[in-house]
Amino acid sequence: MDSASILQHPRRNLGSRHRSQADRFVKLARKDPERKDENLAWAEQNAQQAVLHDFTDERNWRCLAEIKHMREDGEGLSLVLEDLFVVLGRDPNQLGQLKGVDHMEVGLELLEAAFLTDSLEPEVWFDKLDADSLDNFASRCKGLDFTDQRANIIYGRRLERIRSAGHEDMFIELVHHLLAHRPANHELWMELGRLHERREEIDQAWLCYDHVQQIRPTEPVRDLFLSRLKGAMDGEKAVPWSGPSLETRADFLSRMQNLSHTVSVVPVVEEEVTEDEDEPINLELKRLQDLIEAGEAAEAFFMARSLFTSGESWAEEWMLKAQSML
């Protein structure tokens, strides 16, 4: 993982350590009014680090929000809530409801209400679900933007909890929405691959493992899967299996590209080809260039990989370029 990814991967020990430091400075601020501002400034810095290192712990968010409130920083408290709502995968339209609100008066209440209805802890979150709310969650997942890595991790853990409760088909359907927005989430790809393998869905398992090996070449999970498969076939009359058909691979990549396109704002530009032009414009190349320039790495990656899989060797360069941006 790059440095940005490492910072956005939860590290509970560091989060707890910084939160403890923040709590210590808050106590000092209450004991020494003359140095209150100085101690609260140090407390806020540590609370921010706590959230940065572990955004999955509600106590870290609560600590930062309370310090913002103590410093009478209503605007800062508003930004904390907005960031939390992004992590919770909230509908962007709901964020607009925070504008015009007196956060010094109701900010802390909004924070607690968010945790009450949408806990960051997957076990607590799942225990509050019933059949209707589970269906609502599934519908909601299909329309949310999971490009924020933190939201992807939070919802990935929720989906794993749903899978462990026996809802495998729902897990398989919804997890593709997360993976389309964050193709570099190799842990979730591995989990999906293992599930397909247990269900003896060979083509789908291979596609997942193949994707992991593409983005993490040092982990030969696809090759190991083929070895396991070959070992299971030894002594049988089964026809040796070497991978899914080209059509199956292309369909998979096309579906992933379409799912990633739901969060893309890059318009498809129709180029007019004039008779004066010596060579026709490669619209697929133009589309890849537009996606890369707009930072839409996920859609560009799946599109380029689909083209490369179909025999368009020129697309490999763009696939690797998009992959480096994931």
Q: Say whether 1 sits in a helix, a strand or coil.
A: coil
Question: Distance of CA 295 to CAs 44, 152, 267, Å?
Answer: 32, 18, 13
pLDDT of residue 46: 97
In-domain check, residue 148: yes
Mean pLDDT of the chain: 84
How much is the pLDDT for 126? Answer: 94
Say if 238 falls within a structural domain: no
Across 312-317, average pLDDT: 88
At which of 118, 144, 167 does a domain end? 118
| Mean pLDDT computed over 262-277 | 51
Same domain, 142 and 77: no
Cβ–Cβ under 8 Å, residues 257 and 305: no
Q: Which domain holds residue 104?
A: 3-118
Q: Is 96 contained in some domain?
A: yes
Model pLDDT for residues 182-210, shown as the tens digit of each residue: 888 888 899 999 999 999 899 999 999 99
- Asked if residue 274 belongs to a domain, the reply is no
Name, of 10-14, 64-68, 290-294, the range with top average pLDDT.
Answer: 64-68
Q: Are 65 and 78 in contact (CB under 8 A)?
A: no
Number of domains in the chain: 3
Backbone angles phi, psi at 167, to 5 degrees: -90, 65
Q: What is the CATH number of the domain that holds 154?
A: 1.25.40.10
Residue closest to 266 by CA, chosen among 228, 292, 294, 230: 294
What pTM does this model have? 0.74
Identify the pLDDT of residue 288: 87
Per-residue pLDDT band for 266 (boundaries 50, 70, 90) equals low
For residue 222, the tally of other CB atoms under 10 A from its CB is 20
In 3D space, the residue among 109, 39, 114 whose CA is nearest the CA of residue 83 turns out to be 114
pLDDT digits (tens, 9 = 90+) for 230-248: 766 555 545 455 667 778 8
- What share of the chain in percent tops pLDDT 90? 38
Between 52 and 296, name the one with better pLDDT.
Answer: 52
Looking at the fold, whether 199 and 256 belong to one and the same domain comes out as no
Residue 274 has pLDDT above 70, yes or no: no
Within-domain flag for 44: yes
Residue located via tokens 């504008």: 99
